[in-house]
Structure 1
Amino acid sequence: MTIQIEGYQGARSCTGGPTPGARNLMSWWLGAYGNRGARNLGIYNCRPVSGGSVLSVHAEGRAADLGTPVGNTWSWGVMDTLRLYSYELGLQCVIHNRSIWSSIAPDWRPYSGSSPHLDHGHVELLWWAANGGLTVDLLNQVMGGGTPPPPPPPPMPVLRLGSQGDAVRRLQETLNRWYPSLPPLVVDGDFGPRTDARVRYFQQRAGLVADGIVGPATWRALGF
């Protein structure tokens, strides 16, 4: 049981649909609590945060609105358990019943947004969870019951100018997703000068050493 601290990943662009991890979260929610009135109130929505101008994580399909009957006696406990196991599940934010937790701090605090979230819990996923790391089996295992989770994926390799292969392709695809307004990198698995320049661009803006070497810190900042 570990609370996710730091690493909040805001939305950058509208991606076109829900992610696998968010679909799995909703599927688990409906299966576990459908008999208590749980509903699907949506995952993907290309829009800003209600009442604001910042792009909602719904725009990247990484947020699920887990519908609940207003005034019920059980959903708060579920939302708090999601907070307590947020590191294992890859969650970065939960909003419910005029309260918010996000990975900037371990505890709940009052939520003053335009929606009080009385009829749903808004749950946001980190990119590793959204990309398929969050499964129904993992949710069942962490939240009670189910099969043990799969072993964690192997660490991503260190990449630099001249590297080649599938990891470079994943890097290029991810950088294109981070910066949709920039000329896209060719996803060819070849870490050439253009990929090197884009990595340094990302590192500089992420507060990392802009050396063009994609090691553990850069992979984490990219969402792996």
Structure 2
Amino acid sequence: MPERLARAAPASRRYASPLIAERRQRILDETKRLIGEVGLEGFTLRDLGERAGVSVTTVYNIFGDKEGVIAHALREFHAGIRLVLPASGANLAGFCRAIADTTAIVIENRSYSLALADLYFSRSLAPGLYAVIRGMPLQILSHWLWTAARDDLLRDTDTAAVETGFANLEWASIKDWGAGRIADGDLAAVRQRSFLTIALAAARPPLREAADGMLAAL
């Protein structure tokens, strides 16, 4: 996740006590499970406290509020995804392989992924949480934009608008997949098409032609 997005989530309070550290991790683990089961609408700190074996006051003391604990749980989940990203912006195939790798994680964590997609498009989502969820699918694209710009492969591009458009495509694809309109075996290709479409629009020749050829082959 880009650093500017990571800073969007509230900072949790730091404690040296191993007991508090263990409670903090237990709270985050249960937060992720609860999000996957009931989404944001059904998520309450009371339920979280009961499942984690802590008081609501403890949750407040460690994370500040409901948004804080949810944001930290999302960030922790995202930070646990290890990707090998190409060093060159011209290596579109390498970026597509990374997308296939993350697709396997999406499918493995189906209920959690679908809950996040619902949250992303929710009208009531707090701005801090929107920034965190928006940033989750951008690690690959943002790295490509950076390397492609460094290698002088991009046309003049509004990167913020490109990133928002890509995030919208990514989460919409997850919702379509959850609704059964995209099969598990097709989800990686759908997400790769989104990336290559962005590359086709943003890149200069000959990378633009390379993206067009890869799109035709999918």
Larger relative helix fraction:
2
Q: Which has the higher contact order (CA 8 A, sep 6+)?
A: 2
On whether the aligned pair clears a TM of 0.5, the verdict is no
Larger relative strand fraction:
1
